[in-house]
Amino acid sequence: MNAPSSVYIVGAGPGDPDLLTIKAARLLKEAEVVVFDRLVSEEILELVPAGTTRIFAGKAARDHHMPQEEINEVLGSLAKSGRKVVRLKGGDPFIFGRGSEESLYLAKNNIPVEIVPGITASAGCGSYAGIPLTHRGLATGVRFVTGHCREGKHLDLNWQSLADPETTLVIYMGLINVAKIRDELIKAGLPADTPAGAIERGTTAEQRTILTTLEELPACIEKAELKAPSLLIIGRVVQ
């Protein structure tokens, strides 16, 4: 039996194909199979050569096309077939991308795996919207938080810790729970007039950005009818 091929878990960035790393672009051209997520843009998928096998493993909130356990097994099976496999994930694989779960599964099954980092949504979308994540005198640090909770679970975060006016708060997958996020942060002491923004489809031609306050954030998102993928940024840097 031949030794399994390597699986490359590659970050595709937030959408703009120009933000792909040189290594990611090279691996896409060399891949025999590309297993990709819903958040990978069409412009990036167009860089995959014709004839390369593509497998959609997309997941959206409350709508899993392929459960994570099945994705793990597919990656393992493809690698054991000897083909060069690229697992293409939106943003960075290790920032709310579940790349660590996939790499652990592969490693436990003695399948070589390599992680190729990508520009995460917070950096890419913030830059394209003109919002710095840190700025002297406004923010001494950044917190990355997921606003999405597992099925059947409540969003249980350390709100007291997050309600720090000196810190920029970046919330991935926060649209569904934006009202609760607003309420809990204000209850924990973050001023209601703290600047806040939401960025839909950041770095793409369809990007939309709204700028408001923490208190008005849910209403503004509803009025603008923002859809996923959207990123929330809360903190004085938004001003």
Enumerate the active-site residues. 37, 59
- Cis ω before 93 (30° cut-off from 0): no
Q: What is the spatial distance between Cα 168 and Cα 181, in angstroms, rounded to a whole number?
A: 14
The widest CA-to-CA distance across the chain, in whole angstroms, is 63
User: Comparing C-alpha atoms, which of 119, 232, 84 is closest to residue 169?
Assistant: 232
Lookup result for tokens 């839909």 = 200
User: Comparing C-alpha atoms, which of 188, 181, 153, 6 is closest to residue 198?
Assistant: 181
H helix runs in 129-177, sequence order: 159-162
C-alpha pair distances (Å), 140 with each of 47, 232, 235: 39, 18, 11
